[in-house]
Every structure is written in C-alpha cells, then in structure tokens.
Amino acid sequence: MMRRYSLGVEGMHCAACAETVAKALMSVKGVRKAIVNIATERALIETEDGVDFRALALAVENAGYKLATKTLTFALDKPLDDEATKALLRSNGVIAVEVSQPEKSLPAATLVRLHYLDGVISQSEIQRTLQLLGFEAHPVEVSTPEKPAVEEAQTAWRRAWIGLAISLVVMALTMLPSLAYQLWSGWLAFALTTFVVFWVGTPFFRRAWKAALNLNATMDTLVSIGAISAYAYSTWLLLASQLAHHLPVGHLYFDSAAFILSAISLGKGLETRARAIATSSLHQLVRLLPSKATVVRNGSEQTVPLAEVQVGDLVMVRTGERVPVDGLVISGKASVDESLLTGESEPVVKSEGDEVLGGSLCVDGFLQVEALRVGETTFIAQMTRLMDEAQASKPSMQRLADKVAGVFVPIVLLLATATFVGWLMLSGNLTKAVIAAVSVTIIACPCAMGLATPTAIAVALGRLAQMGILVRNAEAMEKAAEITSVVLDKTGTVTQGQMEVVAIWSPKLDEAKFLQIAASAERSSLHPIAQAIVREASKRGLEILEIADVRSEVGLGVTAKIVGSRKV
C-alpha cells in the first residue's frame, strides 16, 4: 500500500538544493516518488509500507540538509529498557530517543525525549505507543518545529544592511578619483572588504563547501566563486603594488566582492520573508484549534493540553469556545459556526446525536461532545495535510524551471571558465579575463529561475486560502487559467460570508427605535445575525441601551430586559 507524507526540509536555498534533496530521498528503499518544493521548504513523498524514516533522515543529512523535526519529552513511571527503546524507534517517524534522569522536583522515574517527524506521527500516537508498552507517560515539554530559516533570514537581513553600508565606503575608496589608486586607500578597502567577505559571506561559503563535498554545485557555488575571485584578484594587485615599492595601485575590485555578497544576502532575506508570509496564511486552519480542552475524567472537569485528549473522552464546549476535536454530541444544544471549515455562513444548530468538527465555534449554547477523532485524524488536520501536499506539488511550468535550474549551475561554471580562457588568450589581459569570468558567474545566478515560479505559486495558494478557497493540487490552479465558465450549485455561494441587515419591519415601533432595542439585546451575542444587527445600529449611530436578564434560546433568539422598560 502506498502512503503519502509531507515533510519539512531545512537548509535549502536554490532549485539545485531541492533537486539534491529529491535524489537523496529517492535513494532510500521504499520511496517511490519525491517532490521537493524550495518555496515552501517541504518534500512530498510517496512510500511503500515499512519505509525506514531514520534512513530517510540520514540520507538527507548526508546530502547536506536536514528533515525538520519536533521534540517531545515524557515523564515515565519506570525506567525505559532497551526493548522499549527499540520498539519506539520502530515507530514510523521517530528519529531518535534520549533517556535522562528527571529533576528531584519531578515525580517520575525516567525522562524520555523523542525527536520525530511532524506529519508522520503525532504526540497522541507516541503516547499511545508508550502506554501499550506498559508505561504511564505524561508530556513534560512539547517543542514546536524550530524556525532556522526565519532566524537565518533575520541574521542575513542584518548582515546585508551592514555589508551594504560598508560596501558604499569601499566603493568610494576604490572609485573616487581623489581616493582611488592610493596605497593607503587600497589597504583600508582591503580591511573593510575582508570583514564583509568573512562575515556576510561565511554562510554562502559554508553551503558551497558542503555542496562540493557532496559533488554538487548550487547558487552558493556561483556566489562564492564570484566574490572570492574579485576579492583574491584585488588583494593580489594590492600586494604586487606593495612589493613593487609603492607603485601606483591598479583599479581594485573590492567593492564588487562586498556588493555581491551583501546584495544577495539582502535578497535571501526578502525571499524568506515572502515565503514565510505565504506559508503562514496556508496554515491558518490549524490556528482554529484551541491549545487546551475541558474534559470530564473521574467525574470532574479537567483542563488538559489538546494533545492529551483521547478518543472516547467527554469534552465540554461552552459559548464562545471552539470545538477542540471531531466528535458526537452526547447532550446539550448550541448554534455552531462552521463557516471556515464548510463555507456555510449561517450557524448550524447541533444537538444530541449530531457530529461536530474540530475548529468550529460555539456561538450560543453548551455541548457535551464525545471525541471520535483527535490529532492527525481530525477533519481540520486532513485539510491541512491536503494543503501541504498542494504546496509541495509542482505544476508543469515549475517542473520545467526546476529541470533547467538543476543543470544551470554546472553550465554557468563551464561558460565562466571558457570566458576566462577566451579573454586571456585573445587579449592577454589577466584583469579583463578575471572581470569577464566573474561577471558571467554572478549575473547568471539562477536564483530567479529556481525561486520565482514556486514562490509565485506559494503566494497564490496563500491568497486563495485567505479567501476561503483551498486548492488540492498546484496543477489544478495552473489549469484554472483556461476556465471560461463557472457553474454554482446552490444559493448563497457567491457572498461575502457575512450577514447584513437589508430591511427592518415592526408593526408598532418606528424603524430606528426597533433597531436600537434589538441591537441592545443582541450586543453580547456571537451569533452572525446578532452581530449584523449590532453593526447596522452602529452604522446609524444609534445608542446602545442598558440591558439586564439576558436569556438565549438556541435556534430562537434572545430575550432581555431594557433597564426602565419592559421585556423584549
């Protein structure tokens, strides 16, 4: 049986990186398909049952990258033996298990820390595995996936602006007639550029070296070669002038080395920020789930982390709270807003025997819900998984761009070498040959080719998600450009998703007075109709009256007492 997983990948910076990761994943036994998206930093893989996820993580690590993991710590009631450790490591998605002794303040025999792949196994599944192995396990610490890409972008942002500021000074030292060709200004430019090259440029050099060890060439390879060439050649000119008894210094290219690294570092920061914004909007559904839930255990209500809710638990949901799990209503009655999940703008009345979806909002009433699906099996988790797969999928235009970008770096290196040799042979001028080769290397960096298409797709998917439109496959979005007609199957599909007051009728009161009383009674309600009435009163500048004895009847409305008046 084939299974699909969406995995986060850390350390990628260009299309060549994505191709390298895809090849590493495909090299593992049992992997039938691997698509890596540089814009979303995720890999979509199709595997046979029994694939070794630790082998997957090792293959990616050997290629110079890393699969994104989460860390989870459990307090156990007894020591973890070797057999139990091996059983945990056999669980799909568990990468490493660490055992330590707990602090004295913690009533536990052993602490076990697990590193696992999010999207392959969940916290509840790991806890259930420990319980089946005979352990009483309590979560102590849950870490969200680290954000090395975001942190790296922030660091790159700072480095880029400082580097650009220094580059302007270097440019003045090497290009202004009153300063250029002076030995002292050359050495000052050398000192400033050395700082930029080895501070701003270190991440590029480190990634290029890592790629070279794996016999790969990436965008970082081109940037590193271009910057180091300009820096090394200018340093050689400066030393030659010093050794030749202070002869006039030739034109130096320290400014080129500094600007190359600073400008591309700034571009990396902008790229990562754009990707982060697009990706965060795609995962807004996950934020609908509360972090905690109220459950009934041993005859009393307890507030527990959402990850500890298990199938069969009785969950309490009150007015204003979001339903934490997919479940069956055991008792109670409430109006539930499912608009962000189903698109239905009007709240649905739920009572005994009805199913509710995790993430929906209880706008009015009270429900006791038996948990049927938790964690990765909930409707909202499945929708999120589909969105992850949509991000990782590639339309035909992106596959073409990736193929070209994958062979582009080696071709550029060959062209740069040919340019250097050609200029040197034809002109006999080393300076011209070096500058021409560096120009080819830098100008041909395939950043835009490998990143423009996936970034555009990620931004489009994010914008569609914000508008309530979920796309299961990026290729479907590409084909949508060919649509000529749209057929809608129900009334109310094309709306703003927000109710408005369009007419007011009262047999006794005038329109403004009737609206004022209604808005006063409804002002504390979360129901969409109530909120529409309050908004309309606000638009008309009507004063909200003081009320008391507010009572809500699910599916019927509210009754209240206007202070100094009669009930309405």
The ranges assigned to domains in the chain are 1-68, 71-145, 149-282+408-451, 292-393+470-489, 511-562
Q: What is the CATH code for 1-68?
A: 3.30.70.100
- Is 536 strand, coil or helix? helix
Q: Which residues pair with 548 in a beta bridge?
A: 561
Identical topology for domains 71-145 and 292-393+470-489: no
325 backbone φψ class: left, alpha, beta (φ>0; ψ -120 to 50) = beta
Task: Please give the pLDDT value at position 370.
Answer: 93
The rounded distance, in Å, linking the Cα atoms of 156 and 553 is 57
Residue 44 · residue 28 · CB < 8 Å: no
Three-state DSSP state, 499: coil
Catalytic residue, chosen from 49, 326, 388, 489, is: 489
d(CA 53, CA 93): 6
What is the C-alpha separation between 170 and 164, in angstroms, rounded? 10
What pLDDT does residue 143 have? 47
Tell me the CA distances in angstroms from 236 to 134, 181, 187, 435, 461, one per residue in order: 69, 14, 12, 14, 50
Beta bridge partners of 74: 112, 139
Predicted pLDDT at 316: 93
Which DSSP helix (H) or strand (E) runs through 293? strand 292-297
Consecutive 10-residue runs of the chain (568 residues): their mean pLDDT? 83 78 90 82 85 89 87 83 86 86 63 84 82 82 50 74 89 78 80 91 86 77 83 83 63 82 78 65 68 86 84 89 92 85 77 90 88 84 73 65 68 87 87 81 61 68 71 76 81 69 82 85 79 87 79 74 63
8 Å CB contact between 180 and 174: yes
SS3 (DSSP) at 419: helix
**Beta carbons of 461 and 480 less than 8 angstroms apart:** no
Q: How far, in whole angstroms, is CA 184 from its chain's centroid?
A: 49
User: How big is the CA angle at 550 (ends 545 and 552), to the nearest 5 degrees?
Assistant: 130
Give yes or no: 52 in active site: no
Write down the H helix ranges in 283-395: 339-342, 379-392
Q: What's the pLDDT at 527? A: 78
Q: Tell me which long-range contacts 287-291 makes (C-beta under 8 A, separation of at least 24).
A: 288/322, 288/340, 288/341, 288/358, 288/359, 288/380, 289/322, 289/324, 289/358, 289/359, 289/380, 290/321, 290/322, 290/324
pLDDT at 326: 92
What is the CATH architecture assignment of 71-145? 2-Layer Sandwich (3.30)
327, 371 Cβ separation under 8 angstroms: yes
> In the CATH scheme, what architecture does the domain 292-393+470-489 have?
Distorted Sandwich (2.70)
Here the tokens at position 409 are 């770096």
Is residue 69 within 8 A of residue 115, CB to CB? The reply is yes
Cα–Cα distances in angstroms (integers) from residue 529 to residues 37, 351, 407, 505, 525, in the given order:
43, 20, 59, 16, 9
pLDDT at 468: 66
Q: Output DSSP code: residue 248.
A: P
Backbone φ and ψ for 11, nearest 5 degrees, come out as 100, 0
User: What are the contacts of 524-530 at 24+ separation with CB within 8 A?
Assistant: 524/550, 525/363, 525/364, 525/552, 525/558, 526/319, 526/320, 526/337, 526/361, 526/363, 526/364, 527/335, 527/347, 527/363, 527/364, 528/337, 528/345, 528/346, 528/347, 528/363, 528/498, 528/499, 529/499, 530/558
For 129, residues 6+ apart whose C-beta sits below 8 A from its C-beta are 87, 88, 91
Locate 104 and state its tokens. 């004295």
The per-residue pLDDT for 532 is: 87
**How far is it, in rounded angstroms, from Cα 290 to Cα 366?**
17
CATH number given to 511-562: 3.40.1110.10
